[in-house]
Amino acid sequence: MQLFDVAIVGGGPAGSNCAAFCAMAGLQSLVLDREKFPREKVCGDCLNPSCWSILERLDLAQRVRDLPHSKLRSVAFIAIDGREVIIDLPSGTNCEISVKRSLFDELLLNRARELGAHVREGTTVTALANSGNWEIETAIGESFSARTLIGADGRNSTVARLRSLLPQPTRERVALQAHIPLPRNFGRRVVLQFLPEGYSGQAPVNETELNLCLVGRPPTIPKLRQWAEHHFEIAAHQAWRTITPLTRSSVPCAHKNLLFIGDAARVVEPFTGEGIYYALRSGELAADAIAKISRGKDRQSVLRGFTRACDQMYRGRLWINRLARAAVLSPRIGSFFIQAAQFQPAILRLLTNKITR
Ligand SMILES: Cc1cc2nc3c(=O)[nH]c(=O)nc-3n(C[C@H](O)[C@H](O)[C@H](O)COP(=O)(O)OP(=O)(O)OC[C@H]3O[C@@H](n4cnc5c(N)ncnc54)[C@H](O)[C@@H]3O)c2cc1C
């Protein structure tokens, strides 16, 4: 059986990016994902401008720009009473865009393949054993071996669960997502709307479709759906994708020969739309760490450096995310904040600039 340098469970942005950078560094890399791509994903589909520099390093930025997408010009914060504050987003080539995850994730995974990573789709990891190297077993009884294992399998990480590292999920809230027909005159904006039962995010993803997300506690979901059906004139039989939890404690990102990246390591409130950036960047950092170890650098110090770099990535951003979480957990407080921002828009402008820097 082939012994891979690195096996990555999960081919989302974190896993694909990690595989691509590992392959570029000459490592024998394997990606296992339970889905067959292209596949959709519960997400707001917004790509934070910080992602562009990483996509440039992968030689992928132009190919992302060539995908059907929307260039987002502003973000509209809407309070429960309908009051609205509009903040402009950065313009230019490296602006915030929205692009369907089915397209974006498939492009990333194919880039990893192009660079030499082995990719197995439709392959669910179900068991792990460590005897120096990792033995990885799948639902259909295949097994793979690797020196290093990466958990890039999202917020409900099987790798973390199998290693007894997955924090107890607080299934406080659920997210629903659908692509619906783009309302006339919607404009090139992201809408973040507080509702009595939770919040909604909306962004056009191309000329004809709107990404619509709803977040609320389980008992409020029927009301949120009714609001969406009425507000966007969509049918009651509209199909929705769902995901939970919306937040949970983090998993330590570095273990002996096991690393966690993206949502598997840390889940952040989606309101600020940064998860894909964290996934891409942590994937790149993990690849760098594994390449250094494979070149003979001291494992312990490389892993300490990886942990520091991951902490650094969130530093200066996480407090805004926590602020957003406090606002969305109490939509009335969030709405009050928007009312205040009508007179002092500099507050929201500052926060938006920080998020999209
Ligand atoms: C409602 C909502 C809106 C959001 N909006 C935005 C936004 O607008 N912008 C933004 O940047 N972020 C947003 N996010 C966050 C973003 O979606 C995530 O941060 C991002 O998808 C994390 O990428 P990842 O690669 O870590 O994990 P994922 O994208 O979840 O990928 C994990 C992969 O692992 C695979 N997998 C899972 N288990 C197994 C297994 N046992 N075996 C094999 N494969 C497995 C899955 O099939 C999946 O492909 C949003 C999140 C939510 C919930």
Nearest partner of 55 among 31, 89, 20, judged by Cα: 20
pLDDT at 349: 78
More confident residue, 254 or 344: 254
Statement: residue 170 has pLDDT above 80: no
Q: What is the pLDDT of residues 215-251, one digit of tens each?
A: 999 999 999 999 999 999 998 889 999 999 998 999 9
pLDDT at 67: 98
What average pLDDT does the chain have? 93
> What would the mean pLDDT of 307-311 be, rounded to a whole number?
96
Q: What is the pTM of this model?
A: 0.96
Spacing, Cα 142 to ligand 1 middle (Å): 25
> What would the mean pLDDT of 151-173 be, rounded to a whole number?
92
Residue in 16, 21, 34 to alter for ligand 1 test, most ligand atoms within 8 A of Cβ: 34
Out of 28-32, 91-95, 251-255, least confident range = 91-95
Taking CA atoms only, the protein residue closest to ligand 1 atom 44 is: 33
Spacing, Cα 232 to ligand 1 middle (Å): 26
> What would the mean pLDDT of 106-113 be, rounded to a whole number?
98
* 269 pocket-lining for ligand 1 (C-beta < 6 Å): no
Strands of 97-98's sheet in order across: 46-47, 97-98, 70-71
pLDDT at 157: 98
More confident residue, 352 or 34: 34
pLDDT at 357: 67
